[in-house]
Amino acid sequence: MGLLGSCLHRFGVNRGRSGVRRRRRSALLVAVASAWLAVGAGAQEDAADSYRRILKRWADGAPNQAVLDLVALERRWARRLNALRRSQEAELSRLVGRDRLSLVAPARLHQLAFKVHATGSYRDLPAHSMTVNDRAVKLTVRHGKGIPEIRETAAVLLTSMAVVLRNHLHLEAAVLRLVRATELDPELAVAFEWAAATEEEQGHLASAAGLLRRLVELEPNNFPGRLRLAMIESKRGGRDATGMLEGIVGSDHRSWAWIFAVQELARDYARAGREEEAIDLLRRASAEYPQDQGLAIALAFFDRGRRGRSRVTLEALESFDVRESARVHYGKWPRQEAFGLRVQATLRRHLPHLAKALFQTDEERP
C-alpha cells in the first residue's frame, strides 16, 4: 500500500463512500505537499541566512572564521548541494545588484573554501566552490558593463583561482581561467606567463608558445618568459631557439634565467659540433658565478677530457643543492608573491563594497 496509502487508510480517508473518500484523499495530499514545501523552504531560508551571516563575518574583518564557517555549512549541505548553490547564487545576485563591486570578497572566500575542500573527504565540494566562485566573477563582469577597472578586477579573481587550482593539480581548469583572465585584461602579464607554463606542463607546446609571444610583446625584458619560449621552440624543433638563447646570454640581465640559458646554449653548441665554444661560454659564466654548482658540473662534463675535471665534477655533485638550481626555478610559477600582494590589495579595496551591499540588503528586507 505504501507509506502515504497507509496514512490515508489510518485516518479513514479510504473508508466510506467513494466521493467522500476522494475529497478526503485530495485534502490530505494537499496538506502533505504543503508541509513538505514548507520544510524545504525553511531549509532554503536557513541556508541563505547562514550564508549571509558568513559574508557579514568576512566583511567585519574575520576572514579565517568566515572560511571555516563556510566549509562547515557546505559540508552540512553536501547531500543537497544544488539547493545550497541556488541559495548562494541568489544572495550573490542580490548583492551585486546593490553594488557591482561587492562580490570580490565572496569570490575569494569560495577560493579559500576550495583549498580546504580539496584536502577533505567530500568529493563534490571542490567543484561546488569552483562553480560559485565562477558565478561571482561572471556576475561582476556582467554588472560592470565593460568598465575597465571591473574587468581588471575580474581578471585578478580568475587568476587567483587559477593559482589555487594549479596548486591542487587541476591544470586544465587553471588554464581555462587564466586564458579568460587575459581576455578580460590583455595587459595582465602573469596570466599569460602562468597559462603558458601550465600548457607546457601538459605538453601543449603550440598553445604555450603563442601565450609566451604575447607575454614577450607585453614585457620585452621578461627574461624568464623569453627563456621559456626558447625552450619550447627547441622542443618543437624551431630554428630560432638557439638565437633566442644567444639573445638572453648576450644581454646585461643576470638571474637564474641567464644561468639556465647559458647551460642550454652550451648544450646546443655541443650538439652542433661547436664544443670549444660551449666550453668557453661555460668557463666565462663560471668565472662570473663561481659558486654555481650547475655551471661547474656542466663545464666539467663538456671539458671532461682535461686534467682535474673529474674531481671538480665530483665535488660539485656532492655539494649540489637542488633547491638553488636554475632548473628548479624554471619549474615554478614566477611572481606569485607579488601577485599575492596584489590580490590582498584588491580585497582590501573592495571589502567596503561588500559591507555596503549587505547593509543595503538588511535595510530593504521586510
pLDDT digit string, tens, across residues 173-192? 999 999 999 999 999 999 99
pLDDT band at 228 (very low <50, low <70, confident <90, very high): very high
Asked if the model's pLDDT at residue 148 lies above 80, the reply is yes
| Percent of the chain whose pLDDT exceeds 70 | 80
* pLDDT recorded at residue 311: 53
* Rounded-to-integer distance, Cα 198 and Cα 192, Å: 10
* pLDDT recorded at residue 208: 96
CATH topology of domain 240-334: 1.25.40
* Rounded-to-integer distance, Cα 329 and Cα 103, Å: 35
* pLDDT recorded at residue 38: 41
* pLDDT recorded at residue 328: 78
pLDDT band at 227 (very low <50, low <70, confident <90, very high): very high
Q: Which residue has the higher pLDDT, 319 or 241?
A: 241
* Rounded-to-integer distance, Cα 317 and Cα 312, Å: 9
Determine the average pLDDT of the residues in 90-100. Answer: 95
* pLDDT recorded at residue 241: 93
Cell of 267: 648544450
Asked which of 46-50, 304-308, 310-314 is least confident by mean pLDDT, the reply is: 310-314
* pLDDT recorded at residue 43: 52
Asked if the model's pLDDT at residue 44 lies above 80, the reply is no
Asked if the model's pLDDT at residue 39 lies above 80, the reply is no
Asked if the model's pLDDT at residue 366 lies above 50, the reply is no
Q: How far is CA 289 from CA 58, 165, 254, 259, 276, in A?
A: 49, 37, 10, 9, 20
Residue with cell 618543437: 236
* pLDDT recorded at residue 124: 95
pTM above 0.85, yes or no: no
Asked which of 86-90, 279-283, 322-326 is least confident by mean pLDDT, the reply is: 322-326
The DSSP symbol for 333 reads: P
* pLDDT recorded at residue 58: 94
Cell of 244: 633566442
C-beta separation of 216 from 196 below 8 A: no
* pLDDT recorded at residue 304: 67
* pLDDT recorded at residue 327: 75
Determine the average pLDDT of the residues in 191-216. Answer: 95
* pLDDT recorded at residue 11: 44
C-beta separation of 326 from 257 below 8 A: yes
* Rounded-to-integer distance, Cα 85 and Cα 78, Å: 11
* pLDDT recorded at residue 233: 94
Q: How many CB atoms lie under 10 A from the CB of residue 346? A: 18
- Can you tell me whether residue 149 is helix, strand or coil? helix
